[in-house]
Chain A
Amino acid sequence: MGGLTKVEIDFATSHLIFPTLIGIILLILGVVLLIIRRREVLGAGTMWRDTFERMDKLRFFGTLLLTVLYFVLMVPVGELWPNTGMGFLLCSIPFVALTGILFTHDRRLSKLVPMLIVAVIAPLLTWWLLSEIFVLTLP
């Protein structure tokens, strides 16, 4: 009986012991959840369809698209002026401005101007604080 509980750890495969165990537990929990919540699982398609129907697609996907563009451009722009943090600064200003415009409901100039001022000042201030005062690496 005592032999059943004995475990010998092989150093070469020790990296797989815990992930395998957690994977098995997750699988068991997943199956139990599937059985208990089968009605919700079967209705998942409807839930996602409703979510996408109700969602503000322009703002949601617009945010994702702008974020991806922001990340993609930051490094190449930064490489034009290495070690200056210009990639961050020059990409953040349009990113903050465009995301702000995307989020705004009332796009009259009087409403946009304060937001555009923030879009210039906030990245400038952050860039100055992080790169000049705290001497942190920026893209």
Chain B
Amino acid sequence: MDVFELITPLFVALVFGGTFVGLIFGAIPGMTATMAVAVCLPLTYSLGLENGLALLLGLYVGGISGGLVPAVLLGIPGTPSSIATCFDAYPMAQRGEGEKALRISIIASLGGGMLSLIALYFFAPLLADFAIQFSYVEKFLIILFALTVMGALSSNLLLGIFSGFLGIFLSLVGVYDVTDGGNGHFRLVPPGTEYWLESGFSLLPVLIALFGVSAILEEAETGMPQSMSVREIKVGKSSRFSLSIFKGQIRNLLQSSAIGTFVGILPGVGGSAASILSYTAAKTTSRNPEEYGKGSAEGIIATEAGNNALTGGALVPLLSLGIPGDSTTALLVGAFALQGIQVGPLFIGNNPGTWNSMMIAMILANIAMFVMMYFAIRWFAMVVAVPKHILYPVILMMCVIGAYTINYGIMFDVWTVLIFGVLGWIFVKLKIEVAPFIIGFILGPSAEIYFVKSLESFGDVTIFLTKSWIALILWLLITASLVASAVLARRAKQLEALAQPGV
């Protein structure tokens, strides 16, 4: 398919519209890129795959980028990815240089986003070509590796792994599908609920609930704190922005983008880690580390390049292995499923048109983000003050209708939204991590197929160790991720103990 055939006015409008809505979601504290994608997912049903993805990728890029607005102006990260942006951008804004901080963030975001796209373009097909050689054994081990990496990078290794396995367990509810080589029997279904749970809990209502409804319940629990008043938001213009700020920052930009892309590739890690790791690396290698935390432009460039680079990186494992890189790309699995397409190693080769359209959508989304934010930054700053009591009821309504329309109108999916919305709220209280849970939930059915088929084919459990050198390497990686996580956790505990007064 000719690349230019893809760029229809509708396609461009959807990318720009998606980016705009994503920016609004990202800019309002408490609302995230994931929520934006979850709420708008049902709209893609009638748009077709390319146009639907154009909207969702716009929402993704916009949602991640929008988080910088409250981080700069209020010192509150709009999304978890903007957490480190607060460290330097907010002190800069407090000095009356809010506009300068915003413009630095926007340009760094564009740089990070574009550089990660280059990595995506070259790396995803290579990884997919390699992954085509995988048998059921290696595919199962890749999923196991993804789960251990997620666990290892969670705040607590055991809880992270527990969350992932809990996600797998709940994904197995229902019938062992005959089309997947199963025997068509029910499992994990309480008596009397077979009618509703034949296909288990649908993925999209679960995603919508965990990322939309539970966030609203958390806000309701704390009494729905009031938004800022428009008068309280000061962009500030005391110091003019100049592109010369970026002089000597190319290494920082490249390093942070590389870190962000790499973190994105690791399944389930998320933008907050990308942004903090980029910030720490930039500070460690900086000539002026003492400036960090006091309004350093270098710090802002590092965090914003890092978190936007996540967007391209997170698509690498999704499009080459079928494993989502973060919670937002997990929702894209749902978008593909809506169109009857399975993402995995064969995706790029079998769907070159969709692959090209995704690249174009990502480039356009980054350009749209830059144009909208750079030239209308004062207006976007006002978004921070949009009252939540107006937005949240509408989002709840969208969550409900999204769940209802996804499977041609099944009311049980709507109840699933409520069940998992409350469950998501309980998860937060019990410190069960949602990202590993959701990735476990998505990968659970595939893990089962690969595991059972491996045993059916070879009849010996040692096959998971002896099948190939790839399997051995995967086991080494699984062990390494677990050991590294345990060592890092112990070191963090020791440092914490040393930091205690009197020690």
Instruction: Say yes or no: is A51 at the interface (Cβ < 8 Å to chain B).
Output: yes
| Min C-beta distance of A104 to chain B, whole Å | 4
**Contact assessment for A15 and B185 in the assembled complex, using a CB-CB cutoff below 8 Å:** yes
Instruction: Say yes or no: is B404 at the interface (Cβ < 8 Å to chain A).
Output: yes
Residues of B within 8 A of A29 (CB): 158, 161-162, 165
**Contact assessment for A33 and B158 in the assembled complex, using a CB-CB cutoff below 8 Å:** yes
Residues of B within 8 A of A33 (CB): 158-159, 162
How many B residues touch A, CB cutoff 8 Å? 62
Chain B residue with Cβ nearest A12: B183
Main secondary structure of the interface of A (DSSP, over half): helix
Residues of A within 8 A of B161 (CB): 29
- A1-39 residues at the B interface, CB under 8 angstroms: 2, 5-9, 11-12, 14-19, 21-23, 25-26, 29-30, 32-33, 36
Residues of B within 8 A of A2 (CB): 460
Q: Mark B392-423, 1 if CB is under 8 A from A, else 0.
A: 11101110110011001101001100100010
Instruction: Say yes or no: is B169 at the interface (Cβ < 8 Å to chain A).
Output: yes
Instruction: Say yes or no: is A128 at the interface (Cβ < 8 Å to chain B).
Output: no
**Contact assessment for B162 and A15 in the assembled complex, using a CB-CB cutoff below 8 Å:** no
**Contact assessment for A96 and B393 in the assembled complex, using a CB-CB cutoff below 8 Å:** yes
Q: Mark B165-184, 1 if CB is under 8 A from A, else 0.
A: 11011001001100000110
Q: Whole-angstrom distance between the alpha carbons of A130 and B361 in the complex?
A: 24
Chain B residue with Cβ nearest A63: B220
Q: Whole-angstrom distance between the alpha carbons of A9 and B183 in the complex?
A: 12
Residue of B43, B158, B397 with highest tally of chain A CB at under 10 A:
B397
A-B contact pairs, 5 of them (CB 8 A): A15-B187, A18-B451, A19-B169, A55-B221, A130-B405
User: Apart from A56-B222, A114-B390, what are 4 other A-B pairs with CB-CB below 8 Å?
Assistant: A33-B159, A74-B414, A103-B393, A122-B397
| Min C-beta distance of B486 to chain A, whole Å | 12
| Residue in A97, A103, A106 whose beta carbon sits within 8 Å of that of B388 in the complex | A103
Chain A residue with Cβ nearest B392: A103
Instruction: Say yes or no: is B129 at the interface (Cβ < 8 Å to chain A).
Output: no
**Contact assessment for B390 and A30 in the assembled complex, using a CB-CB cutoff below 8 Å:** no
Residues of B within 8 A of A16 (CB): 187
**Contact assessment for B415 and A71 in the assembled complex, using a CB-CB cutoff below 8 Å:** yes
**Contact assessment for A115 and B390 in the assembled complex, using a CB-CB cutoff below 8 Å:** yes
**Contact assessment for B45 and A134 in the assembled complex, using a CB-CB cutoff below 8 Å:** yes
Instruction: Say yes or no: is B447 at the interface (Cβ < 8 Å to chain A).
Output: yes
| Min C-beta distance of B438 to chain A, whole Å | 16
